[in-house]
Amino acid sequence: MADGENTHKREEPIIIKKKKGHGGHGHHGGAWKVAYADFVTAMMAFFIVMWILGQNEEVKKQVEAFFKDPGAFNFITGKRATPIDLNLVPEEGEGKGDKKKDDFFFVVPPEKDSGKKIINKDLKKALNDSIAAAERVKKMASEFERFIQNKLQQSPELKEILSSIKIEMTKDGLRIELLEMKESVFFELGSSKVTAKAKEILAALAREIGKLPNYISIEGHTDSRQYAGANYSNWELSSDRANASRKILESNGLWNGQVVMVTGFADRKLRNPDNPFDVSNRRISILIKPISSSNILNTSE
């Protein structure tokens, strides 16, 4: 019986488990690398902040200006670029005199080629053209001011309307504004109908502006008095007056396509915000837009 039991007895297999050695500590994954990188980045940011806090006010302002507008700084020198200062390096044979500047235009930075600073011929020409365009705008403004003075001497009866013209150089371009005075001198009261004297002024303006390569926009503005008519408001009135001015300008000297925008602002852009009902808020603005060298390059392509 014992032999039968031994015969039928099942032998259990013996399993031996062996661990493969990794030598020292085992692999713990890459999470620690991410944490370490975050720590290093935080420390770097901390030391940069501490460095900035230890600088004078001028450096702090420069750093603040960079984070607000990185494009305003030259990517080669790290210095803030002036409106027309390209830091151009003259070619061989060229002088290194003072660069001509005009804060009316912005241009693109110089290019690099194979590590050597060069002047891009097209860029240089565009720069010169933009400077020339700025000078032409200023010359036109001066000539029109002389026109006003001559008209005053020849026609004293135009004193009121001519004294209502304001010419200002702004960051957006040369702005010519036709301001209403105590009485309606440019448009009939509550209407977009242009007066005869105003037509003469607009025609003279068109002849001068049409000589320029610059685009222009025309804006209509009113004061805050509500328009009395039904289904018609200061929005419609300001838009209609701007459009009426456009028609006269285009028929008296502007080149085709020179006007790029006609807008009515109602009383949303008051000239005299302290007195929303001041008649000088009723006006037509003609904005002669600046030409940058990048505009000229895009046009020539």
Strand partners, 287: 175, 217
Q: Looking at residue 3, what is its pLDDT?
A: 52
pLDDT along the chain (301 residues), means of 10: 54 64 56 82 87 82 73 55 38 41 40 46 66 74 76 74 85 89 83 91 90 92 86 94 97 95 96 93 93 53 47
Q: Which CATH class is domain 137-297?
A: alpha beta
Separation between Cα atoms, residue 140 and residue 136, nearest integer Å: 6
| Domain residue extents for the chain | 34-89+99-127, 137-297
Threshold 0.85, pTM exceeds:
no
Residues 194/187, Cβ–Cβ less than 8 Å: yes
N-terminal to C-terminal alpha carbon distance within the chain: 109
Q: For residue 131, what pLDDT is reported?
A: 72
Number of H helices, E strands in the chain: 8, 7
Q: Cα–Cα distances in Å, from 183 out to 70, 197, 211, 267?
A: 49, 13, 32, 18
CA dist 3 and 212 (Å) reads: 122
pLDDT at 23: 53
Q: Are 214 and 137 in contact (CB under 8 A)?
A: yes
Burial class (CB in 10 A: 0-12, 13-18, 19+), 43: exposed
Alpha carbon separation from 78 to 8, 41, 108, 239 (Å, rounded): 92, 23, 15, 45
**Residue 289 backbone phi and psi in degrees, to 5:** -80, 145
Rg of the chain in Å (alpha carbons): 36
